[in-house]
Structure 1
Amino acid sequence: MSVEGSPPAGPLVLGGDLGGTSTRIVIADSEGNVVGRGAAAGGNPTSHPASAAANFGQALHAALAGLDASEVKAAVVGMAGGSALGRPDVAARFDEAWTGAGLTVAPDYIGDLEVAFASGTPQPDGIVLIAGTGSNVGLVRDHQLVRTVGGHGWLLGDEGSGFWLGREAVRSVLQALDLREPLGLLEQTVVQTVLPDRDQHSVAEREGYDALRDDLVRTVNSRPPVLLAELAPAVIAAYAQDDETARGLVKRAAELLTETVARLKTTSDQGPMVLAGSVAGESSPVGQLIRQHFAGEVLTARDGVGGATWLALGALDPTLATTANHSRLVER
């Protein structure tokens, strides 16, 4: 924990951003000054059911060190995989972590779509698209999520996501092997990543095609499906080297994501669109194609925990949800 600036002004608020790779907590005073920070490993209760609550508690204790937890009067915690809190055992662990840190105010757990939108703009209305490991789109009205499309998970959806890119990259390898075609740059990278000890030169022999295909299928199916998202950077890198297969996948991913947005977006929609996630980022070719497609204001999500903290200020007192406080908390 690090204390920033002078002693806290007035009551405190807490913002949280719990994701698959990290848990981050920020404490701010009523003037938007950050007075405490804490971080720990992943806090997604769906993907990390055993450790998420413990990591949450660790980050809370670090952020509150040297502060009076009872002075926290509003708390907004953004969480990926928050549906798991519907399970009594998971909810009990998170309640224990919360009260164990000395907090007395009830936390407002919200989804990562709302946090992403708030981190990208202080405006109350708009659309948010997250495309990272998975993909999801939400309609925000008065800072609250009122409707979603997509986000159906790797088995039923997540079109255009990092998972989708990784799966399609593997499928391109399997198709080439079925057709007895040489592997291109992307396909070679996939084999090297999934089967680092496999001799690719064996595919030059007819009998090697089936063996390589079987090894690839067996290895991919033995791992958690979500790990296919780890191949997304390989697609982006091959795209940069003008690989034909990668360029087709990037273009199709952007099309699928814009089609998902189209299920929600109408001509009457007001406000900006906020893009979040590695696949939709400004440096990603998928994100660049999405930005070219949509007219109007297209923004990029920033610090999620800052967005959650700003929402907590608004929950404490709507007059505190100012543009100045948004800039102070988010654009750091």
Structure 2
Amino acid sequence: MSVERPLPEPADSVVLAPATTLVLGGDLGGTSTRIVIADSEGNVVGRGAAAGGNPTSHPTTAAANFGQALHTALTGVDPARVEAAVIGAAGGSALAIPEVKAQFDAAWFGAGLSAEAEFIGDLEVAFASGTAEPDGHVLISGTGSNAGWVQDHRLVRTAGGHGWLLGDEGSGFWLGREAVRSVLLAFDLEQPLGLLGESVLTALLPDHDPGVFAQRDGFDIVRNGVIRVVNNRPPVLMAELARTVVAAYEHGDQTAQALVKRAAELLIETVGRIRTTKDTTPLILAGSVAGEQSPVGRLLRVAFHEEFAGEILTARDGVSGATWLALGALDPALATEANHTRLLS
């Protein structure tokens, strides 16, 4: 009696693994939108990116960028396998507006996703990207600034974060604004500009004629030009001048050094509103201004090590932190140190 044997598979065939549950992490920032899809062991199976996704600034464009990043990340992935999602959003409070929420929902369901997405603040995402510990504090200083107290991976209290008009002390915006104010003060006093002042003037009025200062009303002409340019641009662009401050600082400009020192002091004060000196939980520093390569960030680390107990850690990839939180949302047992290391490495 003959026995039928299965035909051998072609050498180049691929045996697909059984479908597994997936999670989705997102990071919607002012300059970029990033999405990560991962399995239950923290292995990344899809990534997507697009331009800024802050729902406060331009909700329609942000929602479109959100949808684009989702579609890219889900390429070759069945959206039905995504069973948990955590998305950090700068300006996420705008999603409480029905019209804005509807646009983001349209992008979400338009990508074929059916799981409920949990939108949280960027403070929680930044904290999770820096540590797997459930409790601690986080400071973000980039374009804006904000500090938060996290308990059991949830934000329970904040300090700062009031926006460019009412606060954001020590942020990139603050540094840029104070740099321009130092230039205007020099104009008022008809004093020569230092390195920082000249750099700010070049950034704002690249075509200005230095010889104009020799004229009787030269200071007034240039001052009015600076005021006009600054007021005709979106306020957030003031943060671009933070790089000018840092460059002048590194070259020994006294005004820039004073601004950097003051920015660090303001950020230390912000954290001090919500953290005691005896607290031994981690303190996570996030954002370009608070980064390890920034002079403000370097001053912060020295001061925090002297003033606070507990580890001072640097935030890493925010979207990976959100993805790790999504694993915990799917099953708390999956929010392990090993999965955190795998996602953030």
**Which range, TM-score by smaller chain?**
over 0.9
Match of 1:146 in 2: 156
C-alpha distance in 2, partners of 1:243/1:169?
12
C-alpha distance in 2, partners of 1:224/1:8?
50
TM-score by length of 2: 0.92
1:55-104 deviations in whole A, cap 9, x for unaligned? 11111111111111111111000101111111111100101111111111
Residue 8 of structure 1 contacts residue 29 of structure 1 at CA under 8 Å; is this kept in 2? no
Residue 9 of structure 1 contacts residue 31 of structure 1 at CA under 8 Å; is this kept in 2? no
Match of 2:337 in 1: 323
Residue 132 of structure 2 contacts residue 336 of structure 2 at CA under 8 Å; is this kept in 1? yes
Work out which of the residue numbers 54, 58, 61 in structure 2 matches 1:48. 58
C-alpha distance in 2, partners of 1:102/1:313?
20
Question: Letter of the aligned partner of 1:305 in structure 2?
Answer: V
Q: CA deviation at 1:204?
A: 3.5
Residue 9 of structure 1 contacts residue 30 of structure 1 at CA under 8 Å; is this kept in 2? no
User: Are 2:85 and 1:75 aligned?
Assistant: yes
Give the direction of change, closer, same or farther, for the CA distance of 1:252–1:267 in structure 2 (3 Å limit): closer
Q: CA RMSD in A?
A: 1.2
C-alpha distance in 1, partners of 2:215/2:190?
10
Instruction: Structure 1 unaligned segments of length 5 or more: list them.
Output: 1-5
Work out which of the residue numbers 38, 61, 65 in structure 2 matches 1:28. 38
Match of 1:305 in 2: 319
User: Are 2:230 and 1:220 aligned?
Assistant: yes
Q: Which moved more, 1:128-137 or 1:6-15?
A: 6-15
Residue 42 of structure 1 contacts residue 48 of structure 1 at CA under 8 Å; is this kept in 2? no
C-alpha distance in 2, partners of 1:309/1:111?
14
1:106-139 deviations in whole A, cap 9, x for unaligned? 0010000000000011111110000000000000
Match of 1:3 in 2: none
Question: Letter of the aligned partner of 1:69 in structure 2?
Answer: P
User: Are 2:136 and 1:126 aligned?
Assistant: yes
Residue 20 of structure 1 contacts residue 48 of structure 1 at CA under 8 Å; is this kept in 2? no
Q: In structure 1, the residue corresponding to 2:59 is in which secondary structure? A: coil
1:267-297 deviations in whole A, cap 9, x for unaligned? 4534110000000000001001010011331
Q: Which moved more, 1:276-285 or 1:9-18?
A: 9-18
1:159-196 deviations in whole A, cap 9, x for unaligned? 00000000000001011111111110000000000011
Q: In structure 2, the residue corresponding to 1:248 is in which secondary structure? A: helix
User: Are 2:199 and 1:185 aligned?
Assistant: no
User: Are 2:76 and 1:66 aligned?
Assistant: yes
Work out which of the residue numbers 174, 177, 185 in structure 2 matches 1:167. 177
Q: In structure 1, the residue corresponding to 2:55 is in which secondary structure? A: coil
Q: Which moved more, 1:42-51 or 1:190-199?
A: 42-51
Give the direction of change, closer, same or farther, for the CA distance of 1:8–1:33 in structure 2 (3 Å limit): farther
Identity of aligned residues (%): 71
C-alpha distance in 2, partners of 1:207/1:49?
44
Residue 254 of structure 1 contacts residue 290 of structure 1 at CA under 8 Å; is this kept in 2? yes
Match of 1:265 in 2: 275
Residue 280 of structure 2 contacts residue 311 of structure 2 at CA under 8 Å; is this kept in 1? no
Q: Which has the larger radius of gyration?
A: 2
TM-score by length of 1: 0.96
C-alpha distance in 1, partners of 2:239/2:67?
28
Instruction: Structure 2 unaligned segments of length 5 or more: list them.
Output: 1-15
Q: In structure 1, the residue corresponding to 2:217 is in which secondary structure? A: helix
Q: In structure 1, the residue corresponding to 2:60 is in which secondary structure? A: coil
